[in-house]
Amino acid sequence: MTKPILRMKTITCLIAALAGLSRAALAAPETFDFKDPKGVNNAVFKLDAPLEAVNGNATGISGTVTFDPADPAATRGKIVVATASMHVPNTMQQGHMLSDKWLDAAKFPEISFEAKELKNVMTSGDATTADVSGAFTLKGIAKEMTVPVKFTYLKDKLGQRVPNQNGDLLVIRATFTIKRSDFGIMPGQMEEKVSDAIELTLSIAGASPR
């Protein structure tokens, strides 16, 4: 009589242990790669000077972010924008922008943001908002910043974007403003044509294949 009871207890313990393991596996943080095969990941920049407004975007996005839907506060990662991928509609402006006087794309080929800490994390459904603190690096100068970010976790949606591939997607959206003078980009010069304040809007999706 005792033997079957013992066997039952063992099986129950095993099932519980397996359930715990699978829960742990489900809650494991995922690493999302932001190099987008569809080419829609983009960072928009807007400058509104008294004499001239400059709008453009950059599509050379890469980087990885580790996101755990069960613990979004633990999110860490780095997003990189290729300086040379920045585009404005006027060829002459484009040349000036990437030249050594302004962004010096040849010497500083990357603009990046590295997330180090998340605060005010709020999750509702598949969307999480947080204030992300980290280092924003532009033209070789790193500056600590806090940026409001919205994460949208799209479970099992990778297959809808990339055929024959299973996995999850993470969409990151953020809008924030930097000052070019903080990064040594012609500080105090030509502000009537190129404003000091630059509004940046990041809209990117990362993939975590299984």
Count of Cβ atoms closer than 10 Å to residue 36 Cβ = 18
* H-only helix segments in the chain: 2-26, 91-98, 158-161
Tell me the C-alpha to C-alpha distance, in Å, between residue 87 and each of 60, 96, 123, 201.
10, 11, 34, 14
Residue found under tokens 């953020």? 174
Within 5-24, the residues that bind other proteins by CB under 8 A are: none
| Binding of residue 41 to other proteins (CB under 8 A) | yes
Query: Among residues 44, 142, 190, 197, which is the contact residue for other proteins, using CB under 8 A?
Result: 44
Largest Cα separation within the chain, whole Å, is 91
46, 78, 87, 96: which one binds other proteins (CB under 8 A): 87
Q: In the complex with other proteins, which residue's Cβ is closer, 52 or 117?
A: 52
154 binds other proteins (CB under 8 A): yes
Q: Which one of 50, 89, 125, 163 is in contact with other proteins (CB under 8 A)?
A: 89
The residue among 74, 95, 77 whose CA lies nearest residue 28 is 74
Q: Where are the alpha helices (DSSP H) in 130-193?
A: 158-161
As measured in angstroms, the least distance from the Cβ of 186 to other proteins is: 19
Contact status: 204 vs other proteins (CB under 8 A)? yes
Which stretch of DSSP H or E encloses residue 93? Answer: helix 91-98
Q: Which stretch binds other proteins (CB under 8 A): 7-15, 103-111, 137-145, 198-206?
A: 198-206
| Interaction between residue 90 and other proteins (CB under 8 A) | yes
Report how far residue 14's alpha carbon sits from residue 182's, in angstroms, rounded to the nearest whole number: 58
**111 Cβ contact list (under 8 Å, min separation 6):** 58, 80, 81, 83, 137, 138
Tell me: does residue 46 bind other proteins (CB under 8 A): no
Instruction: For other proteins, give the closer residue by CB, 61 or 80.
Output: 61
Q: Does 161 bind other proteins (CB under 8 A)?
A: yes
Nearer to other proteins, 6 or 51 (CB): 51
User: How far from 173 is each of 7, 42, 55, 170, 186, CA to CA, in Å?
Assistant: 53, 10, 18, 10, 29
Q: Which of residues 132-151 bind other proteins (CB under 8 A)?
A: none
Interface contacts to other proteins, rule CB under 8 A = 38-42, 44, 52-53, 57, 59, 87, 89-93, 152, 154, 157, 160-161, 169, 171, 203-205
